[in-house]
Structure 1
Amino acid sequence: MNRFALLTGALIAACMTPALAANPAALLHQGAAGAVVLAYALLCSTVWWRHRRTAVPSALPADGADLLLAHASQTGYASQLAAQTAQSLMQAGMRVAQCSFDQLSPTLLAQYRQALFIVSTTGEGDAPDAAASFVRQHLGASAALPAVRYGVLALGDSSYTQFCAFGHTLDGWLRHAGAQALFDLIEVDNGDAGALRHWQHQLGVLAGATEMADWTEPDYQCWTLSERTLLNPGSQGGPAYLLGLTSPDQHVRWQPGDIAEVGARNADEAVQAWMLAQGRPADEQLADGRLLSVALADRLLPHGKAECAALLLQPADALLAALPAIPHREYSIASLPEEGQLHLLVRQMQYPDGRLGLGSGWLTRHAQLGGEVAVRIRENRGFHPPPLHAPLILIGNGTGLAGLLAHLKLRVQAGQGDNWLLFGERQIAHDFYHAAQLRQWQQQGMLRLDCAFSRDEPGRYVQDALRAAAQDLLGWLERGAAIYVCGSAAGMAPAVHGVLHEVLGESALDALIEQGRYRRDVY
């Protein structure tokens, strides 16, 4: 255990008689000696808790790290982002080894199961100087990295013809070495804040941490929650809801593939329960006169014993300053602007202790119909529509259907019927979201629809439906089809990728990626 936590526990225990244990507030009246001891204990606790959140990450030996983080920087920006990335991952409990590209080699990389790369492109597609040796010695040679799963953040300037070229070259080298992408390469144009928030989202998925703090505060707008419908009553899975959000700006626009960033809030009852557990009065105020309970609505409330103990008896303003803001949540947009609403498909998630997830709980239960929800639309160029004249194969599972629906709506609206959807869920009776709309398009000849319901046909998933249609898949690709995948990164997306590799072969699959005809939005 951390020595600060041990010291805190020992000092608090020394002050706590049985009578005082039943009334912690009484400690404040037990004389100067007790007050000094308690103050010192609280100081140690606070220092320890903050140290846990802000410790500067350091390199670890290969056998002690969960992943390798490598950066190639020309101006120092990639190095700065690498430090922020490492700190975020370490705060989420991961062990991170770091290196610059002048220290990187395939031998070193092969020692890790996971790797992240943050790389700049200079001039017209050149690698940074720090990566020159790696490019010269390794990038033109073959390597074997079949056990490595990786992600690339490519920094560049779209005013140059070879935008993010070194990042794309590195991504191609890793794929040819047999490494598996955790998510599609993320391009950052001149420090675009939206792309960096998407990188942070992927870090949270990688670390299994939905409470990873935002590096920059999103500029939210107030939307109205105008619709909330349970889509799967009786399902064996978690409740899934269709949500409709309306903007006061009638001119707001987005494209299929774009993302809604939502600012979640704590339920009022959750804040009150937390304050009660901390021994704080419900009407406690901040120095500026605001109620503490109102100010805590958008803050992460710790529930671990050590974190709560570190905040015990802190003054209201100090408490608020110690708690980070709730980070944004990302959801695929299922509608077109012409529909007048922004539609989301959201499944309720739960923490191990039964509490609803912050984002899903806020949207599906706690936010009031007709009330305000903080929303920002983020452009997601990597999942924007292919040319309308090209056939489109859409593959997804669960609420990942949201990221595919807007593509279908755009193409049907344009009269393009060369569309094929492969969709997977549990039971057709409960989990076939938007079934009426999809079947109507099918009957109109606008959609080929293949489904896999794993509880109705045990063990059959969407990747099995794709494998069974392998010959048709080859035919669609010969006609220039693009493949878009949306849904679970943990099971569905890698399984679909495996089937594509099995059916098409490595070279053909790499060609699809390089041509932008195979794209994924997975979480």
Structure 2
Amino acid sequence: MKSVLGQCGIGALLLLAVLLAGRLQDFSSLHVGSGAQMASAAAVVAAWVGWTARAAWPRRRDDLPHDVGGILVVHASQTGFATELAERTAAALREGGVRVDVRDLAGLGASDLATATRALFIASTTGEGDAPDGAMAFQREVMRAAPDLHHLTYAVLALGDRDYEDFCAFGRDLDRWLHARGALPWFDRIEVDNGDEGALRHWQRQVTQLAGAAEQPDWQRPAYQAWRLRERLLLNPGSVGAPCFHLALTPDDPAHLAWEAGDVVEIGPRRARGDADVLPHREYSIASLPADGSLHLVVRQQRGADGLLGSGSGWLTALAAEGDAIDLRVRRNAGFHVPADARPVLLVGNGTGIAGLRALLKARIARGHLRNWLLFGERHEQADRLHVDELERWRDAEQLERLDLVWSRDVRGPRYVQDRLRAAAEPVRQFVADGATIYVCGSLAGMAPGVDAALREILGDRAVEDIAAAGRYRRDVY
């Protein structure tokens, strides 16, 4: 009881004061024989202390007979950042001696929540307010149900980007659903805009306090490594679209030539050569393998409405000169890695999405896994051949089982990759029936939702959500 009052004794003592001072005339009649009144007063005090204790900190392990112990740390990630933060959260909790069970929301069911009393959720939002691909089954099956979660204390870290209209939509939906089912928040939802370090520090301190751990250094994104721009090649001369470049970078330390196909890089752009200030990072899909000897990117030059170069693309495609230092770090993106076995893969993308798909194909070919089908779209066949010559060589060498190229401005047959998918509905069904994993890389606007709609028409909503939950529908869209 002493520890309870230490945390929430103010409320209890105030109530006692009211009972003892403000209602003194009632207590003057409390003598032997007025036990019912005394019991009633004691019950009120006990109820208040119990409620404030529940709000003050998580319940003990023995509060429920089915408590699995420790804290459930759940991540719902699209590009791997939520998973990375879940691992950091778990490490902070373990530092305080707390047992931790780290789980992917994709594999979490109502029965898991029924046996947990404490949970931390780290949830990304993708697309225009959507749940990550792997979380769709949880959203469909668990969040549409009505489990009683009054036994659960929780907190939510919602990841998003304010450049999109439905900022942190899935994290907010998850928070509202947990609360509506009776779960008690540990603290208010924390929202993170594009990796904002202040919000992440706030989450870290809350977690550290929950664990009772000693103060820890602030979380920081891992320090950038020193790389050099070695090559910049225009891929689309004569295109009606913005210039698109193939870039090759090498690290000052060769040991940093380490990543897997599907991983992404974070670049720290600068305003000009020699500028000491590093701007907010920009992410790009890696287009090569370490065995290539350099890290390849495919970057389209962007300009704002004012005509000024974008900070990331401008730095890489115009401001930095060959040989200049580039601040770079590789970030693991396990959700976009290739299968370890020889199952078929269906790859769909457009524009600079060829970067991520090219790396996946390189990895498959290197392993001798040749059941690869690529659908790729750009504007004009003559001007927008982003690594297409290489793709055709792979097809001719039977390292690429099928190659469908779609040129939207040449208007011959289907205009977009989603149209070509619909036209090939039966082969798509057969590929999926053969166990294929589907990869989508490229633009969020138009292409990604169009491909998703086409797949749902071909396979059915339930089948698409099932393969996503099984890790067989993976997207890297932006």
Normalising by the residue count of structure 2, what TM-score does the alignment of the two structures yield?
Answer: 0.59
Q: CA deviation at 1:123?
A: 5.3
Q: Which amino acid aligns with 2:254?
A: Q
Indicate which of 260, 263, 266 corresponds to 1:255: 260
Q: CA deviation at 1:400?
A: 0.6
Tell me what 2:471 maps to.
516
**Distance across 2 between alignment mates of 1:338 and 1:474:** 34
Residues 258 and 379 of structure 1 are in contact (CA less than 8 Å); yes or no, is this contact kept in structure 2?
yes
- 1:405 lines up with 2:345 in the alignment: no
Of the two, which has the highest radius of gyration? Answer: 2
Q: Which amino acid aligns with 1:456?
A: D
Aligned residue for 2:254, secondary structure, equals coil
Tell me what 2:208 maps to.
none
- 1:453 lines up with 2:407 in the alignment: yes
Q: CA deviation at 1:328?
A: 0.4
Aligned residue for 2:288, secondary structure, equals coil
Residues 134 and 471 of structure 2 are in contact (CA less than 8 Å); yes or no, is this contact kept in structure 1?
no
- 1:227 lines up with 2:231 in the alignment: yes
- 1:386 lines up with 2:390 in the alignment: no
**Distance across 1 between alignment mates of 2:430 and 2:442:** 25
Aligned residue for 2:426, secondary structure, equals helix
With over 3 angstroms needed to count, the CA separation of the structure-2 counterparts of 1:126 and 1:245, relative to structure 1, is closer
**Distance across 2 between alignment mates of 1:221 and 1:384:** 23
- 1:373 lines up with 2:337 in the alignment: no
With over 3 angstroms needed to count, the CA separation of the structure-2 counterparts of 1:213 and 1:410, relative to structure 1, is closer
With over 3 angstroms needed to count, the CA separation of the structure-2 counterparts of 1:469 and 1:264, relative to structure 1, is same
Indicate which of 279, 289, 292 corresponds to 1:336: 289
Unaligned runs of 5+ in 1: 1-72, 77-120, 129-151, 187-198, 269-293, 300-324
Tell me what 1:481 maps to.
436
Normalising by the residue count of structure 1, what TM-score does the alignment of the two structures yield?
Answer: 0.54
How many residues get paired? Answer: 314
Q: Which amino acid aligns with 1:521?
A: D
**Distance across 2 between alignment mates of 1:207 and 1:153:** 20
Indicate which of 243, 246, 267 corresponds to 1:242: 246
Tell me what 1:203 maps to.
161
Q: CA deviation at 1:184?
A: 3.7
Indicate which of 309, 312, 317 corresponds to 1:364: 317
Identity %: 45
Q: CA deviation at 1:430?
A: 1.0
Residues 264 and 298 of structure 1 are in contact (CA less than 8 Å); yes or no, is this contact kept in structure 2?
no
Residues 73 and 103 of structure 2 are in contact (CA less than 8 Å); yes or no, is this contact kept in structure 1?
no
**Distance across 1 between alignment mates of 2:237 and 2:427:** 34
Q: CA deviation at 1:212?
A: 5.5
Residues 106 and 469 of structure 2 are in contact (CA less than 8 Å); yes or no, is this contact kept in structure 1?
no
- 1:164 lines up with 2:115 in the alignment: no
**Distance across 2 between alignment mates of 1:409 and 1:437:** 11
With over 3 angstroms needed to count, the CA separation of the structure-2 counterparts of 1:453 and 1:511, relative to structure 1, is same
C-alpha offsets along residues 424-481 of structure 1, whole Å, 9 cap, x if unaligned? 1101111121122111110111111011110001771010011111100011111110
With over 3 angstroms needed to count, the CA separation of the structure-2 counterparts of 1:127 and 1:341, relative to structure 1, is closer
With over 3 angstroms needed to count, the CA separation of the structure-2 counterparts of 1:355 and 1:501, relative to structure 1, is same
**Distance across 1 between alignment mates of 2:130 and 2:106:** 16
- Pairs within 5 Å for 1:435-446: 435-446=388-399
- Pairs within 5 Å for 1:85-484: 156=86, 163-165=103-105, 169=109, 181=130, 183-184=132-133, 202-203=160-161, 205-206=163-164, 214-215=196-197, 216-252=220-256, 253-267=258-272, 297=275, 299=277, 326-447=279-400, 448-457=402-411, 460-484=415-439
C-alpha offsets along residues 153-189 of structure 1, whole Å, 9 cap, x if unaligned? 577558967613488559xxx9xxxx97265469xxx
